[in-house]
């Protein structure tokens, strides 16, 4: 069937050509076929195919009927060419037109002005006949921009996916030696940077010069669905996470000297923004974190250790102020252990559970646990924040200097003594407590 089609085509073409040149078709076998009159351009282009140059038309065309000057191919498709060019596609993944034997989609069997008998001026123009990978980009990748598709792709077959010439990360590093050298300096390498550059970069082009497939956070969400869920669905969100560019506020994409690919250690990172007040809504402004710790004599254990994540979840969470666990926002709250899960993740809950104790806490009058007295109440229990500053304080035991009470800063005036303490808060007359000689309180 195919043979017939070829035959008809060739006969038809010969008629056309001979008509145009007004040269009669020969009716007997000729010594040479490419002469000044017949098939004149076959030997004259920049690149002439070996057998054509030798005038060996019969290497491919077999005479069918010399009187009618008709020919047929006695080998078809790949066989026609692979008769001489053995094993053009021996590797695992074979380019579709090679598989189907359409060698002549990419090569002129006779001669051409393009190298490798390519029927176009350049390889890129050839590929562009069937592929549009460079369309729609504002920026093209260096080698793609200059049409060097084949520095990365094999034309015929490859052992790697996408007809690549090597494993793709190795391929990227073959040119990006600086990036490869840079990466070796870092202790923490982002997993996909080891072998999946194209998880983030489009090898052909991009909408910006870094050729990223998308902007953060969407780029990151393609793999970090769990973080996406947190950033988008949490009750309390940190806008700098999910905003355009988000993740890059704190993380580097390739590698870092800091764990979790952070740009800097977490605490330094936080105060790049929290060194000034930030608005969280039209009528609520957060104080600058740095003001709360600067010049303070006592820093809370984890704050002194720069361990913000001991208490805060950065990406978003279910508790007020991005706290990792429950901690009441108010001054008064009915007591339950769950309310103070944050503090009890590091401090023993017995501090507020036991009424009488001789050792669980220093905040006692004799054996009466004053933590129990203040906090452990069914309705108006004092929350820890009524007395303790969470980040830092100038008073021992992180006692606050004052607590905001509406517009008023209610002073606490705490003084510590050898065996107890004394406060003169705005909520009651001065009170002393003494662990050894308990005060007698008048009620
Ligand atoms: C390597 C194999 C090969 C050799 C050698 C070869 N041809 Fe062809 N030829 C082909 C193929 C394949 C086609 C079909 C091209 C197509 O369909 O586009 C063809 C088509 C033709 C056609 C039809 C019109 C055209 O150009 O497509 C003519 C005429 C022709 N060949 C003449 C010759 C002559 C004359 C020679 C020797 C100088 C020659 N061929 C050598 C493979 C060859
Ligand atoms: C009869 C043997 C023979 C057949 C059949 C044959 N070729 Fe060739 N081909 C050659 C020879 C000889 C060369 C020159 C080798 C060289 O320069 O190293 C060559 C070279 C080539 C080149 C390289 C040209 C370059 O610039 O380096 C391409 C591409 C090519 N052939 C494609 C084809 C295709 C496509 C077919 C089938 C349509 C085909 N060949 C069939 C013998 C053949
Ligand atoms: C999709 C286009 C395409 C198809 C289809 C294709 N080639 Fe090629 N071929 C090329 C390109 C481009 C080159 C230039 C060398 C390179 O960069 O891979 C080439 C180079 C060649 C060469 C010379 C270099 C070498 O590898 O020895 C030969 C011979 C060749 N092809 C034969 C074939 C044969 C035979 C077929 C069909 C089985 C075929 N080609 C199908 C694109 C193609
Ligand atoms: C005659 C049409 C044609 C030409 C020309 C062509 N290709 Fe293809 N190519 C295809 C077809 C068909 C497929 C398979 C379907 C697809 O993935 O689009 C394919 C697939 C590919 C693939 C994906 C392979 C895979 O394993 O998924 C790559 C990469 C590719 N081509 C690169 C090139 C390059 C580079 C060139 C230029 C040297 C080129 N192609 C020229 C038709 C062509
Ligand atoms: C820097 C190396 C590089 C260059 C240059 C390059 N590619 Fe690719 N190409 C790749 C990689 C890597 C993939 C695999 C992409 C992926 O899986 O996301 C690919 C995939 C492809 C695919 C299949 C998937 C798709 O996007 O459709 C085609 C087709 C393709 N390239 C064609 C081309 C063409 C045509 C050129 C030249 C204009 C070219 N490539 C230049 C590296 C390159
Ligand atoms: C053949 C060499 C070559 C290969 C292979 C190569 N690149 Fe490139 N790449 C370049 C050149 C050249 C530039 C342009 C450099 C410039 O503008 O400073 C570039 C630019 C880039 C850029 C933008 C850099 C910038 O500073 O703006 C990225 C990102 C990139 N390449 C990623 C990749 C990835 C990922 C791979 C592997 C899929 C890869 N490259 C493979 C040569 C290459
Ligand atoms: C997790 C996503 C991701 C992966 C994986 C990734 N990159 Fe990048 N890459 C980026 C982003 C985002 C930028 C832009 C950084 C910026 O704007 O500062 C970038 C920038 C670059 C640049 C420009 C120079 C620079 O360092 O800013 C090059 C080159 C580059 N990447 C190459 C690579 C190579 C090679 C690989 C694989 C070994 C790779 N990338 C893996 C996301 C990634
Ligand atoms: C192609 C998939 C992919 C993309 C895209 C991606 N990541 Fe990753 N990332 C991973 C894998 C895999 C790991 C290691 C396993 C894990 O921890 O989930 C990882 C781990 C991480 C880690 C933890 C590192 C550690 O030391 O534990 C951070 C932080 C991270 N990615 C941030 C990002 C950011 C920011 C982006 C966007 C710029 C991003 N990732 C995009 C796949 C990806
Ligand atoms: C405000 C700074 C900041 C931003 C913005 C940020 N992160 Fe993080 N990320 C951190 C810190 C700090 C850690 C260390 C662990 C912790 O405290 O939760 C971390 C840890 C991670 C981890 C590893 C641990 C885990 O929870 O799985 C991944 C993955 C991660 N981030 C991805 C992202 C992605 C994706 C984005 C953007 C949507 C993003 N991060 C935005 C600060 C940030
Ligand atoms: C890029 C700037 C930036 C960085 C870095 C940053 N934040 Fe924020 N943070 C903000 C802004 C802006 C707000 C105001 C609320 C909002 O927009 O989500 C905020 C709000 C907060 C809140 C109060 C949330 C609420 O709704 O009550 C806490 C707690 C917080 N950040 C902790 C941290 C911690 C801990 C880090 C370091 C891991 C950090 N932030 C890093 C910008 C930043
Ligand atoms: C021991 C638990 C704990 C640690 C550790 C901690 N925080 Fe907080 N943070 C809190 C609590 C509780 C609040 C809520 C303050 C309030 O309104 O009572 C808060 C509030 C904040 C706020 C909102 C502004 C404000 O001061 O009310 C920022 C910003 C903040 N913390 C940043 C940080 C940074 C940065 C670190 C690490 C250097 C850190 N925090 C460590 C418990 C902690
Ligand atoms: C991530 C662990 C952690 C969390 C959560 C935590 N703390 Fe602490 N806290 C510490 C460490 C560590 C110390 C220092 C212990 C020491 O020096 O003996 C400390 C010390 C204290 C002190 C002073 C003790 C002293 O002897 O000077 C008070 C008061 C205190 N925390 C109250 C709280 C309150 C209230 C909460 C809940 C808002 C809380 N802590 C949450 C770890 C934590
Ligand atoms: C009414 C004020 C007040 C409230 C409310 C309060 N504390 Fe205290 N707390 C103190 C005082 C005063 C001390 C110092 C006792 C001393 O050293 O004399 C103290 C000491 C501590 C200590 C140091 C160890 C100890 O017990 O001596 C921890 C830990 C502590 N408090 C945790 C908490 C937690 C957790 C909460 C909330 C569940 C809380 N406090 C509520 C006043 C209070």
Q: What is the pLDDT of residue 400?
A: 87
Using CA atoms, how far apart are residues 314 and 294, in angstroms rounded to an integer?
22
Q: What is the pLDDT of residue 1?
A: 42
158 ligand 4 Cβ < 6 A? no
| Predicted confidence (pLDDT) per residue in 295-349, tens digit | 899 999 999 998 999 999 999 999 999 999 999 888 888 888 888 999 999 999 9
Contact 374, 381 (CB under 8 A): yes
230 ligand 12 Cβ < 6 A? no
Task: Give percent above pLDDT 70 in the chain.
Answer: 94
Confidence class for position 141, pLDDT limits 50, 70, 90: very high
Using CA atoms, how far apart are residues 192 and 200, in angstroms rounded to an integer?
9
Question: Chain centroid to CA 102: how far?
Answer: 39
| Predicted confidence (pLDDT) per residue in 346-380, tens digit | 999 988 888 999 888 999 999 999 999 889 888 88
6 pLDDT more than 60 = no
Token pair 């090898």 is found at 203
Using CA atoms, how far apart are residues 304 and 316, in angstroms rounded to an integer?
23
Q: Which ligand is nearest to the CA of 303?
A: 11
Q: What is the pLDDT of residue 9?
A: 47
Distance 209 CA to ligand 3 centre (A): 32
Which of 401, 400, 438, 402 has the alpha carbon at shortest distance from 419?
438
Ligand 3, closest atom to CA 105? 5
Ligand 10, closest atom to CA 272? 5
Distance 274 CA to ligand 10 centre (A): 7
The upper half-sphere exposure of residue 229, i.e. CA atoms within 13 Å in the direction of its Cβ, equals 4
Q: What is the pLDDT of residue 12?
A: 44
Q: Which ligand is nearest to the CA of 107?
A: 2
To the nearest 10°, the Cα dihedral for 320, 346, 300, 230?
A: -30
Mean pLDDT of 1-9: 47
94 pLDDT more than 60 = yes
Q: What is the pLDDT of residue 316?
A: 95
Counting ligand 10 atoms within 8 A of each CB, the residue from 242, 271, 274, 285 with the most, and so the one to mutate, is: 274
Counting ligand 6 atoms within 8 A of each CB, the residue from 124, 133, 137, 142 with the most, and so the one to mutate, is: 142
205 pLDDT more than 50 = yes
| Predicted confidence (pLDDT) per residue in 10-54, tens digit | 444 544 444 444 567 777 777 777 777 777 777 788 899 999 888
Closest CA to ligand 6's atom 39: 172
Distance 133 CA to ligand 5 centre (A): 7
To the nearest 10°, the Cα dihedral for 279, 283, 289, 290?
A: 80
Using CA atoms, how far apart are residues 299 and 397, in angstroms rounded to an integer?
10
Which of 152, 198, 201, 159 has the alpha carbon at shortest distance from 175?
152
Q: What is the pLDDT of residue 23?
A: 61
344 ligand 11 Cβ < 6 A? no
Lowest mean pLDDT among 64-73, 109-118, 152-161, 222-231: 64-73
Counting ligand 3 atoms within 8 A of each CB, the residue from 108, 116, 128 with the most, and so the one to mutate, is: 116
The dihedral built from the CA positions of residue 423, 425, 428 and 429, taken in this order, carries a sign that is positive
Q: What is the pLDDT of residue 334?
A: 84
- Write out residues with Cβ below 6 Å of ligand 5: 124, 127, 131, 133-134, 141, 143-144, 147-149, 151-153, 162, 164, 168, 198, 203-204
Counting ligand 11 atoms within 8 A of each CB, the residue from 319, 344, 391, 397 with the most, and so the one to mutate, is: 391
Mean pLDDT of the chain: 87
Which of 116, 63, 104 has the alpha carbon at shortest distance from 80?
104
Mean pLDDT of 255-270: 92
Token pair 């254990």 is found at 301
Q: What is the pLDDT of residue 32?
A: 75
């Amino acid at each position: 069937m195919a043979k017939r089609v070829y035959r008809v085509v060739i006969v038809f073409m010969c008629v056309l050509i001979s008509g145009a040149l007004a040269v009669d078709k020969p009716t007997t076998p000729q010594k040479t076929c490419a002469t000044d009159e017949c098939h004149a351009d076959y030997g004259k282009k920049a690149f002439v195919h070996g057998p054509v140059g030798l005038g060996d038309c019969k290497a491919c065309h077999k005479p069918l009927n010399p009187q009618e000057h008709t020919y047929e191919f006695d080998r078809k498709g790949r066989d026609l060419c692979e008769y001489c060019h053995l094993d053009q596609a021996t590797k695992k993944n074979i380019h579709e037109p090679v598989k189907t034997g359409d060698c002549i989609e990419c090569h002129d069997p006779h001669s051409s002005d393009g190298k490798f008998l390519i029927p176009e001026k350049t390889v890129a123009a050839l590929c562009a006949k069937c592929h549009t990978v460079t369309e729609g980009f504002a920026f093209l990748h260096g080698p793609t921009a200059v049409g060097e598709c084949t520095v990365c792709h094999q034309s015929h077959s490859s052992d790697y996916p996408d007809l690549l010439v090597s494993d793709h990360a190795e391929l990227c590093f073959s040119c990006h030696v600086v990036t490869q050298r840079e990466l070796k300096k870092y202790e923490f390498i982002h997993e996909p940077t080891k072998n999946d550059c194209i998880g983030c970069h489009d090898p052909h082009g991009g909408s910006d010069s870094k050729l990223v497939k998308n902007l953060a956070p969407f780029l990151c969400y393609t793999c970090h669905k769990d973080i996406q869920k947190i950033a988008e669905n949490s009750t309390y969100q940190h806008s700098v996470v999910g905003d355009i560019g988000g993740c890059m506020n704190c993380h580097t994409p390739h590698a870092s000297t800091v764990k979790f690919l952070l740009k800097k250690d977490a605490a330094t990172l936080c105060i790049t923004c929290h060194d000034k007040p930030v608005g969280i809504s039209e009528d609520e402004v957060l104080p600058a974190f740095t003001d709360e710790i600067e010049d303070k004599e006592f820093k809370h254990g984890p704050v002194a250790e720069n361990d913000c994540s001991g208490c805060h979840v950065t990406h978003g969470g279910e508790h007020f102020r991005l706290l990792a666990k429950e901690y009441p926002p108010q001054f008064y709250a009915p007591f339950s252990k769950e309310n103070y899960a944050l503090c009890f993740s590091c401090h023993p809950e017995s501090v507020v559970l036991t009424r009488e104790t001789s050792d669980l806490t220093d905040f006692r009058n004799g054996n009466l646990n004053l933590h129990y007295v203040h906090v452990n109440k069914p309705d108006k229990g004092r929350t820890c924040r009524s007395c303790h500053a969470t980040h830092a304080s100038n008073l021992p035991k992180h006692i606050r200097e004052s607590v905001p009470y509406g517009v008023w800063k209610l002073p606490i005036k705490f003084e510590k003594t050898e065996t107890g303490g004394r406060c003169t808060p705005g909520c009651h007359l001065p009170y002393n407590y003494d662990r050894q000689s308990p005060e007698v309180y008048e009620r």
